[in-house]
Amino acid sequence: MKLLTKYNQVNIAATVTILLLSGVVFYFFIEAALIHQLDKTLIQEEKEITAFIKENNRLPEPNDSKEEQETYTPAGNQPIYRSFQSVTAHYENNKRERLYRQLEFAVAADGRLYRADVRKSQVETEDVIQLVSKITLAIVILLLAVLFVISRLILNKLWKPFQVTLQQIKAFNVSMKDSVQLPSTTINEFAELIEAVEQMTQKAKKDYQEIKSFTENASHEIQTPLAIIASKIELLSQSDNLKEDQMHTIQSIAETTNRLAKLNQSLILLTKIDNRQFGATTPVDVSRMVLQILYNYEELFLSRSIQIKQQIDPGVKQTMNEALAEILIINLLTNSFRHNVENGSVTVILQDKYLSISNTGNAISTLPELLFERFRKEAVSSESMGLGLSIVKKICDIYHFKVTYQYQNLLHTITIHFS
Amino acid sequence: MKILIIEDEKELSDSIATYLKTEGYRCEFAADFYTAIEKTEQFDYDCIVLDISLPGGSGLEILRQLKADKKMDGVLIISAKNSIDDKVIGLRLGADDYLAKPFHLAELSARIAAIIRRKHFEGTDIIKFEAITIDAKAQTVTINGRSLELTRKEYELLLFFVSNKNRVISKNAIAEHLWGDDLQGNYDFIYTHIKNLRKKLDEADYIKSVYGMGYKFSL
């Protein structure tokens, strides 16, 4: 649930309740006040009647008008209590009953006891009360409308810095080059939030950069000792009179060192691509490059009797870094060689929109979507590093190419869709 | 043949020198920028093995200096950075070749040999080993005068062997020489190349399999 909705729910419920409640209280207070006023005029009437009787020793003329009525009834034996009450009564000969406020009291005239009823119309009072109720209701409706408009327009606007900040946080990536673009605001809470986000993202980026440059430096520093080890092994292997098991050991060290060096080189390459350290992009003649690399690898495929089929459209150009383009194509081709089988085949198709390389090979157990992850490899050729395809993916990401993998009819196909 | 090894890692320059000495090269060392500048100014070398990151300055600066002095020394850059920029800049400045660390000494030796051949035998470039004669300029091979039909890679393989004669060369070094270092993994396919080449060399087959380690080209 949105904060705004929740806030509105509570706010509107409270407002409506209070307004209705106050409407009811208002109603009773006004009614009580008006009736009190009526009662005071009735008491005045009573005084005047009593004064009249005292002076004239007779009852005044009864009155039966619409607004005011005075009636005198012989009391008989019934006791008469002075009392106020609201009653309905007819006036003159009118059939309709009206609401009146009545004061009942006892008067004595001509030596007899009468019950005097003085009434005053209460209808006006009711009108006033109705009006008050209507006004209250109108206020409630108006208030709701205003609240609605406020929440729609003003609150949405007020929350804007928050929304923008949220968007920025969602889009944030530690490897981003530029810093996050946060809005400015005069609202303290948001200003505080934005400041915190700013500090946090900057720190995350700084930490990431530090880790990255550490990795990079470490990788570079490792190259030299590796070069020394490799050279010493090579010298050692030149020694005369090596025993067979010593030769094996030397070979095993040599291969492992080689693997380590390759792994390190791949990691350096990945870091470099990550850091966008391949600057210059030029229109690269992909067709020519593919043909050239295929030509270079021809004998390699031949050595395992792998047939090369190619359908390469001439003049396919992509604007990218030439070295990266070469790495991309070489990685794909060597991949199709490494995972191929004796007497297999590789098919290279290059068109304006895509480059696809299919090769025969054993079925893989890895999920296709995991294939491009780092260090993902199939057990069959365990000497490979599993970094080749993640390098392919990285390069494609830079140029917004889409890479897909398909396994169908015993053919593994990797397709690069140019953007 | 005189070689200058400009490299601050003593162990590495020692290995390089040891390997090259058996080829008949005389090696000198420079472990920092100033020694390197001094030596290159005073003497001429057939080939300079140049590391880029040196104490005191960049190897690229030494290269710039050499070219400004119109020196004819061959230059092979060895760099730990394997940065494509270094390679491009180095070659543009006039270096003859570029090799990323770590490298195989056999590869280094073959590259140095190629640089020296290019410098010294401008008209012809003939390499002989017993019955085999390689014309590196025309890229043709003859055995006792009979010309030999080799594929591109077989030719490169033979040249690599001849450049590293009497040495044990690992399968890794061969695979990387032929296919570059992008081809990671199992190098068993090298066997096919060797087998084909040996068949073609026939009576001049000086390739010997060194059990467990690789191959050796010798009598």
Indicate the residue among B73, B92, B120 that finishes a domain.
Answer: B120
Tell me: do B115 and B92 sit in the same domain. Answer: yes
Q: Is B91 on the interface with A (CB under 8 A)?
A: no
Nearest-angstrom CA–CA distance, A395 and A36 = 91
With an 8 Å Cβ cutoff, are B84 and A224 in contact? no
pLDDT surpasses 50 at B162: yes
Closest C-alpha to B184, from A13, A263, A342, A45: A263
Q: Which residues of B touch A229 (CB under 8 A)?
A: 102
Q: Is B172 on the interface with A (CB under 8 A)?
A: yes
Residue of A nearest to B51 (CA): A224
Mean pLDDT of chain B: 88
CB proximity under 8 Å: B 20-59 to A? 22
**Residue by residue, what is the 3-state secondary structure of chain A?**
CCHHHHHHHHHHHHHHHHHHHHHHHHHHHHHHHHHHHHHHHHHHHHHHHHHHHHHHCCCCCCEECCCEEEEEEECCCCCCCCEEEEEEECCCCCCCCEEEEEEEEEEEECCEEEEEEEEEECHHHHHHHHHHHHHHHHHHHHHHHHHHHHHHHHHHHHHHHHHHHHHHHHHCCCCCCCCCCCCCCCCHHHHHHHHHHHHHHHHHHHHHHHHHHHHHHHHHHHHHHHHHHHHHHHHHCCCCCCCHHHHHHHHHHHHHHHHHHHHHHHHHHHHHHHCCCCCCCEEEEHHHHHHHHHHHHHHHHHHCCCEEEEEECCCCEEEECHHHHHHHHHHHHHHHHHCCCCCCEEEEEECCCEEEEEEECCCCCCCHHHCCCCCCCCHHHCCCCCCHHHHHHHHHHHCCCEEEEEEECCEEEEEEECC
Tell me: do B109 and B167 sit in the same domain. Answer: no
pLDDT of res. A10: 86
Amino acid, res. A110: D
Tell me: do B96 and B135 sit in the same domain. Answer: no
With an 8 Å Cβ cutoff, are B212 and A248 in contact? yes
With an 8 Å Cβ cutoff, are B19 and A235 in contact? yes
pLDDT surpasses 90 at B160: yes
Task: Give the CATH number for residue B177.
Answer: 1.10.10.10
Tell me: do B26 and B96 sit in the same domain. Answer: yes
The two three-digit tokens of residue A60, written as one number: 């005044």
With an 8 Å Cβ cutoff, are B213 and A237 in contact? yes
pLDDT of res. A377: 52
Domains with residue ranges and CATH for chain A: 3-129 (no CATH), 189-274 (1.10.287), 282-417 (3.30.565.10)
CA A161 from centroid of its chain's CA atoms: 14
Å from A391 to nearest chain B CA?
A: 12
With an 8 Å Cβ cutoff, are B101 and A226 in contact? yes
pLDDT of res. B83: 64
Which of A238, A330, A385 to probe the B interface (max B CBs under 10 A)? A238
Angle at Cα A244 formed by Cα A239 and Cα A250, nearest 5°? 55
pLDDT of res. A329: 93
- DSSP string computed for B145-185: TEEE---HHHHHHHHHHHHTTTSEEEHHHHHHHHH-TT--S
Tell me: do B78 and B184 sit in the same domain. Answer: no
Q: Which residues of A touch B167 (CB under 8 A)?
A: 238
With an 8 Å Cβ cutoff, are A232 and B11 in contact? yes
A396 neighbors A412 (Cβ within 8 angstroms): no
Nearest-angstrom CA–CA distance, B103 and B176 = 10
Å from B123 to nearest chain A CA?
A: 28
Tell me: do B8 and B102 sit in the same domain. Answer: yes
With an 8 Å Cβ cutoff, are A265 and B82 in contact? yes
Task: Give the CATH number for residue B78.
Answer: 3.40.50.2300
Tell me: do B73 and B106 sit in the same domain. Answer: yes
With an 8 Å Cβ cutoff, are A226 and B213 in contact? no
pLDDT tens-digit profile of B65-119?
999 988 888 999 998 765 666 778 888 899 999 998 889 999 999 999 999 888 8
Whether pTM exceeds 0.90: no
| Cis before A368 (ω within 30) | no
Residue of B nearest to A279 (CA): B85
Å from A193 to nearest chain B CA?
A: 42
Residue of B nearest to A228 (CA): B12
Of A228, A268, A323, which is closest to B9 when you measure between CB atoms?
A228
For chain B, the helix, strand and coil percentages under 3-state DSSP, each to the nearest 5: 40, 25, 30
With an 8 Å Cβ cutoff, are B100 and A257 in contact? no
Tell me: do B115 and B209 sit in the same domain. Answer: no
Of A234, A238, A247, which is closest to B211 when you measure between CB atoms?
A247
pLDDT tens-digit profile of A283-314?
999 999 999 999 989 888 988 899 999 999 99
Tell me: do B174 and B195 sit in the same domain. Answer: yes
Tell me: do B83 and B17 sit in the same domain. Answer: yes
A98 neighbors A89 (Cβ within 8 angstroms): yes
Q: Which residues of B touch A383 (CB under 8 A)?
A: 184-186
Of B9, B106, B172, which is closest to A258 when you measure between CB atoms?
B172
ipTM of the complex: 0.88
A4 neighbors A159 (Cβ within 8 angstroms): yes
Residues lower than pLDDT 50 in chain A:
379-383
Tell me: do B62 and B142 sit in the same domain. Answer: no
With an 8 Å Cβ cutoff, are A334 and B104 in contact? no
Domain, as residue range, for B153: 126-217
With an 8 Å Cβ cutoff, are A228 and B105 in contact? no
pLDDT of res. B185: 62
- The number of residues making up chain B comes to 219
With an 8 Å Cβ cutoff, are B15 and A232 in contact? yes
Q: Is B218 on the interface with A (CB under 8 A)?
A: no
pLDDT surpasses 80 at B183: no
**Residue by residue, what is the 3-state secondary structure of A63-114?**
EECCCEEEEEEECCCCCCCCEEEEEEECCCCCCCCEEEEEEEEEEEECCEEE
Number of domains in chain B: 2
> Tokens 């050991």, residue?
A249
Amino acid, res. A258: N
Nearest-angstrom CA–CA distance, B66 and B99 = 19
Tell me: do B155 and B76 sit in the same domain. Answer: no
pLDDT tens-digit profile of B113-158?
999 888 876 667 788 888 899 988 888 899 988 888 899 899 999 9
pLDDT of res. A385: 53
